[in-house]
Amino acid sequence: MLKHGRAGVLMEVMGLMLGEFVDDYTVNVIDVFAMPQSGTALIHGLNRHYYSIPIAYRTHDLEQKMLLNLNKLSWMDAVSVENYTKCGEANKDHLKAMLKLAKNYKKALEDEKNMTDQELAIKNVGKMDPKRHIADEVSKMLNDNIVQSLAGMMATTSLQ
């Protein structure tokens, strides 16, 4: 439905419109070309007995909250047992990353012995801190392993 610019009446356009979008709510239509229409009733084989009713349905606040919660995780997802081979591979990856970070940290400590105070102040600007990243990797690996072992123990005790 469009509103006529001069007459102010609503018009239903069935065809190809030529114009431009001004913003999200305004369209300037310059010309309209009629397109051949196939009646919906003829498609369904109902002739004049067919009519369509536009349905306007708004969801309530509670329905919207329910629909927004469909993709959220439940509390059981936190204690689900992960595949042990995947967990072992993740542990290997964490250990490789920690080994690389430990080598970088050792190298940084050796370099700090020969530096002045001013060089130490500007040494780590814009670079990653290996010590902090080692702590992050350790905490991530510990959390994953604790959750995995607790979930495994819960699964074995619940099955006995």
Domain range annotation of the chain: 2-57, 77-159
pLDDT tens for residues 39-71?
554 555 565 555 566 677 777 888 888 888 888
Taking CA atoms, 127 is separated from 104, 105, 119, in Å, by: 12, 12, 14
How large is the average pLDDT for residues 109-118? 85
Task: Decide which of 132 and 33 is more confident.
Answer: 132
In sequence order, what DSSP letters do the residues of 32-85 get, joined into one string? Answer: EEE-----HHHHHT-GGG-----------HHHHHHHHTTTSPPGGGGGPPPPHH
| Segment 115-132 mean pLDDT | 81
Convert the pLDDT of each residue in 69-102 to its tens digit: 888 887 777 677 888 899 999 999 999 999 999 9
Are 12 and 29 in contact by the 8 Å Cβ rule? The answer is no
Please return the burial class of 136, using the count of CB atoms within 10 Å of its CB with bins 0-12, 13-18 and 19+.
middle
Per-residue confidence band for 135, with pLDDT thresholds at 50, 70 and 90? very high
| SS3 state at 112 | helix
Please check whether residue 17 is in contact with residue 28, taking contact to mean a CB–CB distance below 8 angstroms.
no
Question: What's the rounded mean pLDDT across residues 108-124?
Answer: 82
* pLDDT the model gives residue 47: 59
